[in-house]
Amino acid sequence: MLTKDSLILLVSSEKESALISASEALSMLLGKGYKVALSQVLAKNLRKSDFIIQGQQPDLIVVFGGDGTILKTFTQWKESPILGVNCGRVGFLTEIIPQKLDWAINKILNDEFIIEEFSTVAVSSESYPPISAVNDITIVPKNHGNIMRLKVEINNKLFYVIEGDGVIVSTSAGSSAYARSAGGPLIMPNVEAFCLVPICPFIVNVSPIVFSTDTVVTVTNEAKFRTGIVVVDGQAHYTLGYNENVKIYKSGEKIRFIRFSDNYIKRVRNKLLERIR
């Protein structure tokens, strides 16, 4: 539960609208007597170096921006719940607009909220240590336009060999992002599952599959003269050469969001489905 002695960390994208909202939030929270710290990037943009967080673990992180800003924030602070303030376009992982922050803080103070928790997914190889993703792990060609040949095994059993633009392994949180655009299903937050989605497969009867989070997926590059790239939450991390493989599995880390309603279906309808009308 949040109290006046709790530490609230403000994080923001560098968009002007997000910075303005974060600055207004800082003034509002300080005026009400809250303990507030700023991420290094936000403190620099607001010229408030005295407020830079100094290694403490915040009790609440308020993120101004969109889903990308939330993903970056999680890489630095993995233990604290996140309240997303939408200063972008869709902001599926966000919960409120900037004008509702005061209302939201009061709700949290009164313990009138719920925690929505998602498992994250990790990828590793013989050459690279595990890296966690909130949304997805993607294997795509290093050179855009090339076709990859990828062998996909599930719990050491061959599932298929795909020729196409790559594969996505998505969490339930990420099922509303790239995986959905590639034809994958939405996975509700209370379902402990991941999803494997082929990207533009040459053979069209290769389909997505939903599997439990205790599954291990192995992806091997079988394209002799083509190098793959392992992409973690939209950021390229390392290459995947011929006959090299990665293992993708449930991470020990979880991301937690502050929610004021557990109506996931309404969120999907408002933020995803009704935008296409």
111 is catalytic: no
Co-location of 92 and 139 in the same domain:
no
Last residue of a domain, one of 89, 112, 135: 112
* Residues linked to residue 12 through DSSP beta bridges, in sequence order: 64
Q: How many CB atoms lie within 10 A of CB 139?
A: 25
Average pLDDT over residues 174-191: 94
Same domain, 126 and 237: yes
Instruction: Establish whether 111 is an annotated binding residue.
Output: no
Residue 50 DSSP one-character state: G
Domain CATH for 29: 3.40.50.10330
For residue 137, the domain's CATH number is 2.60.200.30
Residue 63: give the domain boundaries: 7-112
One domain, residues 95 and 191: no
137 lies in the same domain as 248: yes
Greater confidence, 54 or 273? 54
pLDDT tens per residue across span 236-258: 999 999 999 999 999 999 999 99
Active site residue: 67, 111, 214, 233, which one? 67
pLDDT at position 1 = 67
Interval 90-96 mean pLDDT: 93
Question: Is the domain of 171 the same as that of 188?
Answer: yes
Confidence band of 275 (pLDDT split at 50, 70, 90): low
Q: What is the C-alpha separation between 237 and 248, in angstroms, rounded?
A: 14
**What integer is the mean pLDDT of 208-224?**
97
Tell me the pTM.
0.92
- Asked if residue 276 belongs to a domain, the reply is no
* Residue 128 identity (one-letter amino acid): Y
- How long is the chain? 277
| Same domain (yes/no): 175, 210 | yes
Looking at the 3D structure of the chain, how many domains does it have?
2
* pLDDT for residue 204 is more than 80: no
Cα separation, 14 vs 66, in Å, equals: 11
Does the pLDDT value for residue 214 go beyond 80?
yes
Q: How many CB atoms neighbour CB 157 within 10 A?
A: 7
185: alpha, beta or left? (left if phi > 0; alpha if psi -120 to 50): beta
Does 40 carry a binding-site annotation?
no
172 is in an annotated binding site: no
Does residue 158 contact residue 186 with C-beta atoms inside 8 Å?
Answer: no
Residues 103 and 179 in one domain: no
185 within a domain of the structure (yes/no): yes
Tell me: do 170 and 201 sit in the same domain: yes
Check the annotation: does 262 bind a ligand: no
- Of 112, 143, 172, the domain-final residue: 112
Could you tell me if residue 138 is inside a domain? yes
Contact 167, 198 (CB under 8 A): yes
123 vs 120, 131, 195, CA distance in Å?
10, 6, 14
Report residue 274 as tokens. 């009704």
181 labelled as ligand-binding?
A: yes
Residue 12 is assigned to a ligand binding site: no
Question: Where does a domain end: 93, 112, 131?
Answer: 112
Same domain for 248 and 147: yes
Q: Establish if 262 belongs to a structural domain.
A: no
d(CA 112, CA 106): 9
| Phi/psi of residue 81, nearest 5 degrees | -70, 150
Is 148 in the same domain as 236? yes
pLDDT at 88: 79
125 & 32 share domain: no
Instruction: Confirm whether 183 is domain-assigned.
Output: yes
Ligand-binding site membership of 142 (annotated): no
**Same structural domain for residues 141 and 248?**
yes
CB-based contact 180:155 (threshold 8 Å): no
Residue 22 in marked binding region: no
